[in-house]
Structure 1
Amino acid sequence: MRFEELGPNVLMFVGDDYESVATAFLDGSDVLLVDSLASVADARWLHGVLCGQMGKTVRAIAATHFMSDHIAGMTLFPDALTIAHRHYRQTFLSQNQRVDELYREPQVVFDSTMKLRWGQHELHFLHNPGKTMDHVSVDVPTADLVCVGDNIVGNIVYLSKADPVLIRTAIGRIRQLGRSTIIGGHMGRFSAAVLDNAIHYLDRLREAVIRIRVGAPLHEVADRIASIAIETCVAPSVEPASFERQWHQNNLKVIVEQSVFALDAFASQAGNA
């Protein structure tokens, strides 16, 4: 577990479980959290640092998306105002590894956009569906950063049950904000180049899967997809981290189990007919 200062009155915390990220915005002794880590143990550490060591009080917790690995702290700060997009419940119910004990009903829900002034910073909450339908990008122009949740996973993406086109579109919207620091839902902070890297990975993975689905015998498709190396998908400048390698393998399983890019393969064949 680690934390670092990203700028005046902005701290980033990275937990042990899933390397989940929480970003703290400070207004004197008051704190607004964007996401709150993945486990009770990590959330207790966050509580100990912010409240015990620093003497702060968490007044509000906003979720980039309502999955269990990002909302663990909500139950440990019972007096904090909870904020989420209005599709939060659909996301919570549809996740693969739901932890009902971490669920806490959000007290403020919004639809497309919301602005909130917190001390010296202004937070722009922008609905940006991609990995999930409730995904929110939290743009902070005053800190030149944006919290993007799981619309990227480091230099790659995680497909899960999402539409890859929706993920790509979401990343494109984040690029348009023009921020120099990108805070992912996992791993930590990145330069703006991470967005191009994630799109590169998604496009190369899609191309590789389409080639296999179109050209390989049906009985070989699953094994060939499972053997796609991450090195053939990441941008040339990227050395994949172990976390990215793990989630690339998860992507390959998802692609086989959910027939991801099968429609794209069909469309490519129809277009060549």
Structure 2
Amino acid sequence: MKVEPLHPDVVMFVGDEYESVATAFFDGDDALLVDALAGEADARRLRQVLCEELGKTVRAVVSTHRMSDHMAGLALFPQALGIAHRHHRHTFLSQNRRVDAYYREPKLVFDAAMSLRWGRHELHLLHNPGKTLDHLSVDVPSADLVCAGDNIVGRIVYLSKADPAQIRAAIGRIAQLGRGTVIGGHIGRFPAAALGQALHYLDRLQDTVVGIRGEAVPERAERRIRAIAIEDCLAPGVTPTAFEREWHGHNLDVIVAQSVFALDATLAAGEARA
């Protein structure tokens, strides 16, 4: 597991499983976690570093969204205050790879926004639905960072069952915060430019799929969609990581299986006829 101090009182953890990210904020010997990693081995290592090596006690865990690949550590901190958006169950029940053993009922839920002081930082928890209905952005102005959850996946996005327009809007809201560092739900931290790069990927992917759907019969369209190269969708100068390449492949499967962008293709055809 990768352990990276971002500030004297902020540490980022990137687990081996799904490269899932957790971020710890310190107030003396007390720690607040944003997300809790994807696998049990990663979660145990997280606890070892925080509690045994650094001598911290985890008092609160904020979930950017309640999917199992960000919840493995919840059971290891049973006394911690769990914080999530009110629609957390919708997300947990709708995911593709649900692990019921990771589920813990949050002790504090909210709707639109809340703020809490943790040491020298004030964390602003902002409801920002995109990848999931319950998604939060955790804005930390004093650390010049924002935890974006899975509204980005590195310099791309993962569509899953989401409305691409909602993902696009969510990324736009994160960009408006103006933070220099963006911590994703996977891979790690990125400069703010990653937000624009993720939007570029989404727009190019949509344009490519809409073009294919407008030109080809469905059987041929599916083959062409599955053959879209990630390099044809990335922003200039971006070289894909292995994780981004893998999840681009999942996007292509989702687009075919769920007819993603089919409505956009229909609307584009109507505008062309008009």
TM-score band (shorter)?
Answer: over 0.9
- Aligned residue for 1:19, secondary structure, equals coil
Structure 2: how far apart are the matches of 1:27 and 1:48? Answer: 18
1:62-109: CA deviations, max 9, x gaps? 000000000111111111110000000000000000000000000000
Aligned counterpart, 1:220 = 220
1:250 partnered with 2:246: no
- Aligned residue for 2:254, secondary structure, equals helix
Aligned counterpart, 2:27 = 27
Aligned counterpart, 2:259 = 259
Aligned counterpart, 2:230 = 230
Structure 1: how far apart are the matches of 2:263 and 2:91? Answer: 24
Q: 1:7 deviation in Å? A: 1.2
1:79 partnered with 2:79: yes
Q: 1:176 deviation in Å? A: 0.2
1:12-51: CA deviations, max 9, x gaps? 0000000000000000100000001001111000000000
Q: Partner letter of residue 27 of structure 1?
A: D
| Percentage identity across paired residues of the two chains | 66
Aligned counterpart, 1:240 = 240
1:195-240: CA deviations, max 9, x gaps? 0000000000000000110001222011100000000000011000
| Root-mean-square deviation over aligned CA pairs | 0.5
Mapping for residues 181-220 of structure 1, pairs under 5 Å: 181-220=181-220
Q: 1:193 deviation in Å? A: 0.3
Q: 1:153 deviation in Å? A: 0.1
Q: 1:8 deviation in Å? A: 2.8
Unmatched segments (≥5 aa) in structure 1:
none
Q: Partner letter of residue 270 of structure 1?
A: G
Mapping for residues 50-69 of structure 1, pairs under 5 Å: 50-69=50-69
Structure 2: how far apart are the matches of 1:3 and 1:182? Answer: 17
Aligned counterpart, 1:140 = 140
Aligned counterpart, 1:16 = 16
Unmatched segments (≥5 aa) in structure 2:
none
Q: 1:272 deviation in Å? A: 1.1
- Aligned residue for 2:117, secondary structure, equals strand
Structure 1: how far apart are the matches of 2:218 and 2:92? Answer: 35
Aligned residues: 273
Aligned counterpart, 2:118 = 118
**Could you state the TM-score of these two structures normalised by the residue count of structure 2?**
0.99
Structure 1: how far apart are the matches of 2:59 and 2:209? Answer: 46
Structure 1: how far apart are the matches of 2:86 and 2:39? Answer: 23
- Aligned residue for 1:156, secondary structure, equals coil
1:167 partnered with 2:167: yes
Structure 2: how far apart are the matches of 1:230 and 1:272? Answer: 28
- Aligned residue for 2:264, secondary structure, equals helix
Structure 1: how far apart are the matches of 2:180 and 2:2? Answer: 22
Divergent runs of 4+, >6 A: none
